[in-house]
A and B are shown apart, each in its own frame.
Chain A
Amino acid sequence: MALVGILGFKARKEQTLEAVAEFDSVGLRYGTGGEVLRDLDFRLANGGFYFLTGPSGAGKTSLLKLLYVAQRPTRGRIRLFGEELTEAPRDALPAYRRRIGVVFQDFRLIRHLSAFDNVALPLRVAGASEEEVEGPVREMLAWVGLADRASARPPTLSGGEQQRVAIARAVINRPDILVADEPTGNVDAEMAKRLLHLFTALNRLGTTVVVATHDIGLISATPGAQLIRLENGSVVDPTGALKNPPASHNKGGS
């Protein structure tokens, strides 16, 4: 079944918002240590597809944490969906997080919940009834090839299966931004291909996709995607293309 059917997606209408995320002079440090990210100045175009690359320790995961609102910057300003996030009260953060799907490098599935419950979690947190949860979750699990493992708990799933559950959980809520940290690290080539297909399908439907990866094959198989290269905590952007991104390339429809 097509993803559009599973998620009940409709192509987003023409949006006036050009950038879903704007980083201005953003810096991040943990505790009293030095800055792990500094002077980040870039924008993510609405509907864009980005690969975040860079050597290990460059700050990719930290940047993603800022993007999915797990950290606040220690300096600078971040705007998400056109709204100032840096000084937003704590109570306002869940609303941002519900618009962002995250695929963690270590999956972060809840071990004592079934695959079904893990995938259903974002819907339930958002207040969906069990009737509203049942169909989409079953279909999403079928789409990632885990229809018969719905009641299995993560410790009984292989790494690849856990990865697929994590991806299903990230996209079940039809996020505006999908953030994935090394999503193909634990899957075989065939599954990596399917994941990329999923990401591009979501992107065509209007979701801004940001994938942190070392996988050159993944990057080269995605024409039109932009690269964000991090080195020593800074974004390498000699042409300024990331600071003033082109208008959304959201094509709409599937």
Chain B
Amino acid sequence: MLGWLFASPADRRLLGGGRLRGPTPWVIAIMSFSIFIIAATGLALAHTAGLLSSAIQARYSVEVPGGSSNLDVILRTVRSAPGVASAEAVPEREMRKTLERWLGPAAASPDLPVPALVNFDVKPGVDLGEIGRRVAAAAPTATISAHRETVKPLLKSLRVLQWVAFGLVLMLSAAAAAAVVLAARGALDTHRSTIEVMHGVGATDLQVTHLFQRKIAIDAFVGSVAGAATAALVLLLLTAGAAFAGELVGGATLGPGDFLVLLLLPLALTGLATWVARAAVLAALRRAL
């Protein structure tokens, strides 16, 4: 099935010239670079959305606007309610520290009202109404909100971005395929006289096709691996830079399956280019005679 990859030296001489000449490896490398970056971004978004979604699925908050002096009472009330797996109060200083990122030193002002907050996780099938009644008895102004509702718009945006990334990968793959078709047609034009002679001495279309298919497969493999390797390096540098700056840590991440997908991308691109080249050459040859 892959015998065409292992051409004899005589067959390799038939198309003349060296490998990696012409624009094909470069075009494929650029496409591979772009596809790798976009695919990595899309996969990271998908992975992060999944992690976020599962982490907040059972998480709720009790919020007392304007703060509360009896935070410990609320915390105990929540912990003792049936179906609550865990609960923890968010200290005021931590909330002010979070607000400081947006408000600056003003976040430390005692004039800024900071709500009292207790986060809790529930077990499946819990009666939230019972928890609400107990909390209301301890703090009448308290409200309970589900994290998944708060984060829903963000998750939706992440999903949309993930599909946009997937669409871009498909479009770039189609562009790479189109570039290969042009390269194959160019190669056929360049080697038209050789093809005529080969046909004249009894070569089959497949024998001729295998020569071009092999040449383009090698170009595509080298180009796609080089592009993907460069993209991986760029992503590593960006990640390292972000970690050094203290940003994005704990943000977008890739799962083990995602790394596998990224590793397979250059091979998939090579496979696509090879298949497209084969189809383009065979179609062009069949138009003759």
Residues of A within 8 A of B (CB): 68, 70-72, 90-91, 93-98, 102, 108-113, 117, 120-122, 124-126, 130, 169, 173
Are B201 and A169 in contact (CB-based, < 8 A)? yes
Are B197 and A108 in contact (CB-based, < 8 A)? yes
Are B205 and A98 in contact (CB-based, < 8 A)? no
B204 CB within 8 Å of chain A: yes
A90 and B286 in contact (CB under 8 A), knowing A70-B200, A173-B201?
A: yes
Q: Which residues of chain B from 1 to 44 have a CB within 8 Å of any chain A CB?
A: 8, 10-11, 13-14, 16-17
In this complex, what residue of A is CB-closest to B201? A122
Q: Which residues of chain B from 195 to 211 have a CB within 8 Å of any chain A CB?
A: 196-205, 207
A121 and B197 in contact (CB under 8 A), knowing A97-B202, A113-B14, A130-B10?
A: yes
B112 CB within 8 Å of chain A: no
Are A124 and B11 in contact (CB-based, < 8 A)? yes
From residue B13, how far is it (CB to closest CB) to chain A in Å? 6
Are B198 and A121 in contact (CB-based, < 8 A)? yes
In this complex, what residue of B is CB-closest to A72? B289
Are B197 and A117 in contact (CB-based, < 8 A)? no
**B contact face: mostly helix, strand, loop, or mixed:** helix
User: A112 — which chain B residues lie within 8 A by C-beta?
Assistant: 13, 16-17
User: A125 — which chain B residues lie within 8 A by C-beta?
Assistant: 198, 201-203, 207
Are A68 and B200 in contact (CB-based, < 8 A)? yes
B193 CB within 8 Å of chain A: yes
Q: Tell me the bound Cα distance from A27 to B106 in angstroms.
A: 96
Residues of B within 8 A of A (CB): 8, 10-11, 13-14, 16-17, 193-194, 196-205, 207, 286, 289
A102 and B205 in contact (CB under 8 A), knowing A108-B193, A124-B11?
A: no
Q: Tell me the bound Cα distance from A126 to B8 in angstroms.
A: 14
User: B200 — which chain A residues lie within 8 A by C-beta?
Assistant: 68, 70, 97, 102, 108
Interchain Cβ contacts within 8 Å, total number: 63
From residue A186, how far is it (CB to closest CB) to chain B in Å? 18
User: B199 — which chain A residues lie within 8 A by C-beta?
Assistant: 70, 94, 97
A93 and B16 in contact (CB under 8 A), knowing A98-B202, A108-B196?
A: no
9 interchain pairs, CB-CB under 8 A: A68-B200, A70-B199, A98-B202, A108-B196, A109-B197, A110-B14, A113-B16, A124-B8, A169-B201
Which of B10, B17, B205, B286 is A124 in contact with, Cβ under 8 Å? B10
Are A117 and B202 in contact (CB-based, < 8 A)? no
User: A122 — which chain B residues lie within 8 A by C-beta?
Assistant: 201-202
User: A109 — which chain B residues lie within 8 A by C-beta?
Assistant: 197
Are A117 and B10 in contact (CB-based, < 8 A)? yes
Are B202 and A94 in contact (CB-based, < 8 A)? yes
Q: Tell me the bound Cα distance from A68 to B199 in angstroms.
A: 11
Q: Tell me the bound Cα distance from A93 to B205 in angstroms.
A: 10
User: B16 — which chain A residues lie within 8 A by C-beta?
Assistant: 112-113
Are B14 and A94 in contact (CB-based, < 8 A)? no
Are B194 and A110 in contact (CB-based, < 8 A)? yes
Are B8 and A130 in contact (CB-based, < 8 A)? yes
From residue A183, how far is it (CB to closest CB) to chain B in Å? 16
A94 and B203 in contact (CB under 8 A), knowing A70-B289, A110-B194?
A: yes
User: B289 — which chain A residues lie within 8 A by C-beta?
Assistant: 70-72, 90, 93
Are A110 and B197 in contact (CB-based, < 8 A)? yes
Which residue, A72, A96, A102, A108, has most C-beta atoms of chain B within 10 A?
A108
Q: Tell me the bound Cα distance from A238 to B193 in angstroms.
A: 39
User: B198 — which chain A residues lie within 8 A by C-beta?
Assistant: 121, 125
User: A126 — which chain B residues lie within 8 A by C-beta?
Assistant: 202
Are B193 and A110 in contact (CB-based, < 8 A)? yes
User: B204 — which chain A residues lie within 8 A by C-beta?
Assistant: 91, 94
Q: Tell me the bound Cα distance from A121 to B197 in angstroms.
A: 9
Given A93-B289, A121-B201, A124-B11, 15 additional A-B pairs, CB 8 A: A70-B199, A72-B289, A94-B199, A94-B203, A94-B204, A98-B202, A102-B200, A112-B17, A113-B14, A121-B198, A125-B198, A125-B201, A125-B202, A125-B207, A173-B201
Q: Tell me the bound Cα distance from A98 to B201 in angstroms.
A: 6
Q: Tell me the bound Cα distance from A120 to B11 in angstroms.
A: 11
From residue A176, how far is it (CB to closest CB) to chain B in Å? 12
Q: Tell me the bound Cα distance from A223 to B288 in angstroms.
A: 39
In this complex, what residue of A is CB-closest to B200? A102
From residue B205, how far is it (CB to closest CB) to chain A in Å? 7
